[in-house]
A and B are shown apart, each in its own frame.
Chain A
Amino acid sequence: MRIIHAADIHLDTPYARRSDAMRHRLQAAGREALIRLVDLAIGEEADALLIVGDLFDNEWLTIATERVLGDEMRRATSAGITVVYVTGNHDPGRANYRAMNINWPEQGFHLVNSRQPVEIPIERSGATVGFVVGAGHQTPQETLNLAESYPTAPRSAPAVAMLHTQVTTSSDASNHEPYAPSSLADFGGKGYAYWALGHVHKRHVVLGDPLAIYPGNIQGRDFGETGAKGALVVDLASGALPEARFVPLAGVRWEILPVGDLAKARSIADIHSAARTAFEDLVTSDGDLLADQQWILRVSMSGPCPLVDTLRRDEERNDLAEYLRDALGVLDLEVRDDGLHRLLELDEHRGQQHVLGVALDLVESARTDADSLRQLEPAALANGDAYPEGRKRQDYLQGLLKGIDVAVAESLLREERE
Chain B
Amino acid sequence: MRIDSWQIEAFGPLADWEETDLARHDLFIVLGANESGKSTLFEFLTSVLFGFSPARAQDHPYKPWSGKFPAGALEVVLADDRCAHIARRLTSRAEGRLSIDGIEDDLANRPVPWVGQLSRAVFKNVHALTQDEAFGLDQRAWQAVQDRVLGGSSYDFLRPSLEVVDDLESRRTQYWRPDRRGKPQDRQILDRIRELRGELAPAQGRRTRIEAINADLTTVEEQLHEQEGELHQTELALERDAVLAPLLRRVDRMRDLDRKATALVASDELSADVTADRLSLSVMCSDLADEIGKLESEVEVREQLRKLEDSDVRLIKHRERIERLDRTAARAEADDHRVQRMDASLQRIEGSLQELAERTLADGRLSEPARQLLVQISVVELRGRHREWNDRHRQAVDAASALAEAKRIRLQQESEMVESESDLRDLDERLRALRQAQLSIPTRPPASALLMPALTWILAAGTFAGLIAVVVGLVLGGALGIALTVVGVVLGLVLGLMLALYRLAGRRSSAAAVPLALTGQLQSLGIEAGADLDAEIERARTARDNALRQEGLKALHERAKRDETDAGGLAADLKAAAGEARSSFLSLVAALPLAPIHRETPDDTLVRNLESMHRVIDDGRKLQKDRDGVQQHLKDWRADVETLRVELAVELSIDPFDAVSITRRQLETALKAQQEAHSAAAEIPEIQTTLVATRDQLVVSGVRLEEIDAALAALDPDAGDPARGLELLERARELRAESVRARTELDRDSADWHERVADAERLIETGEVIGLSDEERVTIRRQRETTQSQSQDLADERGSLRTEREALTEIPGPAHIAGEIAASEDELAFVRREHDQLAMVQQVIRLAEQRYREQYQSPLLNSAGVYLERFTAGRYDLLTVDDADPSDVQLQVRRSGDEFPEPVAPPLSRGTIQQVYFALRLAMVEQVEGEEPLPLFLDEMFVNWDPDRTASGLKALAHMTEDRQVLLFTADPAWAERASTEVGAHIVRTPDLAS
Which residues of A come within 8 Å of B, CB atoms?
13-17, 57-60, 96, 98, 101, 348-349, 351-359, 362-363, 375-383, 386, 396-397, 400-401, 403-404, 407-408, 411-414
24 contacts between A and B (CB under 8 A): A14-B819, A16-B819, A17-B819, A17-B823, A59-B813, A60-B809, A96-B215, A351-B117, A352-B928, A353-B152, A355-B848, A358-B849, A358-B852, A376-B844, A378-B836, A378-B840, A380-B839, A382-B833, A386-B832, A403-B837, A407-B837, A411-B167, A413-B157, A413-B158
List A contacts of B839 (CB < 8 A): 378-382
CB <8 Å contact, A354 and B152? yes
Contacts A14-B816, A352-B119, A404-B840 given; does A362 touch B848 at CB 8 Å: yes
List A contacts of B215 (CB < 8 A): 96
> 1/0 contact trace for B107-119 toward A, CB 8 Å?
0000000000101
CB <8 Å contact, A354 and B845? no
Q: Does B6 sit at the interface, judged by CB under 8 A?
A: no
A54: min CB distance to chain B, Å: 12
Contacts A17-B823, A382-B186, A414-B158 given; does A375 touch B847 at CB 8 Å: yes
List B contacts of A354 (CB < 8 A): 122, 152-155, 158, 852
| Residue in B closest to A402 when the chains form the complex, CB atoms | B837
Q: Does B856 sit at the interface, judged by CB under 8 A?
A: yes
Cross-interface CB contact of A359 among B214, B812, B823, B844, cutoff 8 Å: B844
Q: Does B156 sit at the interface, judged by CB under 8 A?
A: yes
List B contacts of A379 (CB < 8 A): 839, 843
- Once the chains are docked, how many angstroms separate the CA of A379 from the CA of B856? 26
CB <8 Å contact, A355 and B843? no
CB <8 Å contact, A382 and B121? no
- Once the chains are docked, how many angstroms separate the CA of A159 from the CA of B820? 41
| Residue in A closest to B175 when the chains form the complex, CB atoms | A382
Cross-interface CB contact of A414 among B159, B186, B832, cutoff 8 Å: B159
CB <8 Å contact, A376 and B840? yes
| Residue in A closest to B832 when the chains form the complex, CB atoms | A382
Q: Which of B845-878 contact A (CB under 8 A)?
A: 845, 847-849, 851-852, 855-856
Known: A380-B839, A408-B841. 7 other contacts (CB 8 A): A96-B215, A352-B122, A353-B928, A355-B153, A359-B847, A400-B836, A404-B841
List B contacts of A412 (CB < 8 A): 153, 158-159, 161, 164, 845
CB <8 Å contact, B840 and A382? no
CB <8 Å contact, A414 and B157? yes
List A contacts of B359 (CB < 8 A): none
A316: min CB distance to chain B, Å: 19
Which residues of B come within 8 Å of A, CB atoms?
117, 119-122, 151-159, 161, 164, 167-168, 175-176, 178, 186, 207, 211, 214-215, 809, 812-816, 818-820, 822-823, 829, 831-833, 835-845, 847-849, 851-852, 855-856, 927-928
CB <8 Å contact, B816 and A356? no
Cross-interface CB contact of B815 among A17, A57, A397, A401, cutoff 8 Å: A57
- Once the chains are docked, how many angstroms separate the CA of A132 from the CA of B849? 68
CB <8 Å contact, A378 and B842? yes
List B contacts of A401 (CB < 8 A): 840
CB <8 Å contact, B158 and A382? no
List B contacts of A377 (CB < 8 A): 840, 843
B646: min CB distance to chain A, Å: 108
- Once the chains are docked, how many angstroms separate the CA of A96 from the CA of B117? 76
| Residue in A closest to B120 when the chains form the complex, CB atoms | A348
CB <8 Å contact, A355 and B168? no
- Once the chains are docked, how many angstroms separate the CA of A397 from the CA of B833? 10
- Once the chains are docked, how many angstroms separate the CA of A101 from the CA of B218? 11
CB <8 Å contact, A376 and B848? no
A13: min CB distance to chain B, Å: 8
CB <8 Å contact, A98 and B819? no
- Once the chains are docked, how many angstroms separate the CA of A14 from the CA of B833? 27
Contacts A354-B152, A355-B848, A359-B845 given; does A60 touch B158 at CB 8 Å: no
A146: min CB distance to chain B, Å: 24
List B contacts of A15 (CB < 8 A): 819
| Residue in B closest to A224 when the chains form the complex, CB atoms | B826
CB <8 Å contact, A14 and B843? no
Cross-interface CB contact of B823 among A16, A101, A352, A375, cutoff 8 Å: A16
CB <8 Å contact, A353 and B856? yes
Chief secondary structure at chain A's binding surface:
loop
- Once the chains are docked, how many angstroms separate the CA of A359 from the CA of B814? 49
- Once the chains are docked, how many angstroms separate the CA of A128 from the CA of B816? 44
List A contacts of B815 (CB < 8 A): 13-14, 57-60
CB <8 Å contact, A355 and B840? no
CB <8 Å contact, B813 and A58? yes
| Residue in A closest to B117 when the chains form the complex, CB atoms | A351
By Cβ-Cβ distance, the 3 closest A-B pairs, closest first, are A355-B152, A58-B815, A16-B819
Cross-interface CB contact of A413 among B159, B833, B843, cutoff 8 Å: B159
Cross-interface CB contact of B151 among A355, A397, A413, cutoff 8 Å: A355
List A contacts of B159 (CB < 8 A): 411-414
List A contacts of B152 (CB < 8 A): 353-358
- Once the chains are docked, how many angstroms separate the CA of A375 from the CA of B850? 12
List A contacts of B154 (CB < 8 A): 354
CB <8 Å contact, A397 and B840? yes
List B contacts of A349 (CB < 8 A): 119, 121
- Once the chains are docked, how many angstroms separate the CA of A352 from the CA of B126? 12
- Once the chains are docked, how many angstroms separate the CA of A293 from the CA of B855? 60
List B contacts of A359 (CB < 8 A): 844-845, 847-848
List A contacts of B813 (CB < 8 A): 14, 58-60
| Residue in A closest to B125 when the chains form the complex, CB atoms | A354
A202: min CB distance to chain B, Å: 17
List B contacts of A383 (CB < 8 A): 829, 832-833, 836
B836: min CB distance to chain A, Å: 5
- Once the chains are docked, how many angstroms separate the CA of A411 from the CA of B164? 6
List A contacts of B156 (CB < 8 A): 414
CB <8 Å contact, B927 and A353? yes
CB <8 Å contact, A355 and B117? no
Contacts A15-B819, A16-B820, A60-B815 given; does A382 touch B845 at CB 8 Å: no
Cross-interface CB contact of B844 among A60, A357, A404, cutoff 8 Å: A404
A201: min CB distance to chain B, Å: 14
- Once the chains are docked, how many angstroms separate the CA of A15 from the CA of B839? 34
List B contacts of A404 (CB < 8 A): 837, 840-841, 844
- Once the chains are docked, how many angstroms separate the CA of A241 from the CA of B168? 59
- Once the chains are docked, how many angstroms separate the CA of A175 from the CA of B533? 173
| Residue in B closest to A410 when the chains form the complex, CB atoms | B841
- Once the chains are docked, how many angstroms separate the CA of A16 from the CA of B855? 55
Task: Give the most central of B816, B829, B836, B837: most A CB within 10 Å.
Answer: B836
- Once the chains are docked, how many angstroms separate the CA of A154 from the CA of B673? 120
List A contacts of B844 (CB < 8 A): 359, 362-363, 376, 404, 408
CB <8 Å contact, B176 and A382? yes
List A contacts of B845 (CB < 8 A): 355, 359, 408, 411-412
Cross-interface CB contact of A381 among B819, B823, B831, B836, cutoff 8 Å: B836
Cross-interface CB contact of B841 among A17, A357, A411, cutoff 8 Å: A411
Cross-interface CB contact of A355 among B119, B120, B161, B176, cutoff 8 Å: B161
| Residue in A closest to B829 when the chains form the complex, CB atoms | A383
- Once the chains are docked, how many angstroms separate the CA of A276 from the CA of B156? 39
Contacts A98-B211, A355-B848 given; does A348 touch B119 at CB 8 Å: yes
List B contacts of A58 (CB < 8 A): 813-815, 818
Task: Give the most central of A96, A381, A397, A403: most B CB within 10 Å.
Answer: A381
Task: Give the most central of A358, A363, A383, A407: most B CB within 10 Å.
Answer: A358
List A contacts of B119 (CB < 8 A): 348-349, 352
B550: min CB distance to chain A, Å: 129
| Residue in B closest to A381 when the chains form the complex, CB atoms | B836
- Once the chains are docked, how many angstroms separate the CA of A357 from the CA of B835? 24
- Once the chains are docked, how many angstroms separate the CA of A348 from the CA of B53? 12
A337: min CB distance to chain B, Å: 11
- Once the chains are docked, how many angstroms separate the CA of A351 from the CA of B121? 13
A381: min CB distance to chain B, Å: 5
| Residue in A closest to B819 when the chains form the complex, CB atoms | A16
List B contacts of A358 (CB < 8 A): 152, 848-849, 851-852, 855
List A contacts of B153 (CB < 8 A): 354-356, 412
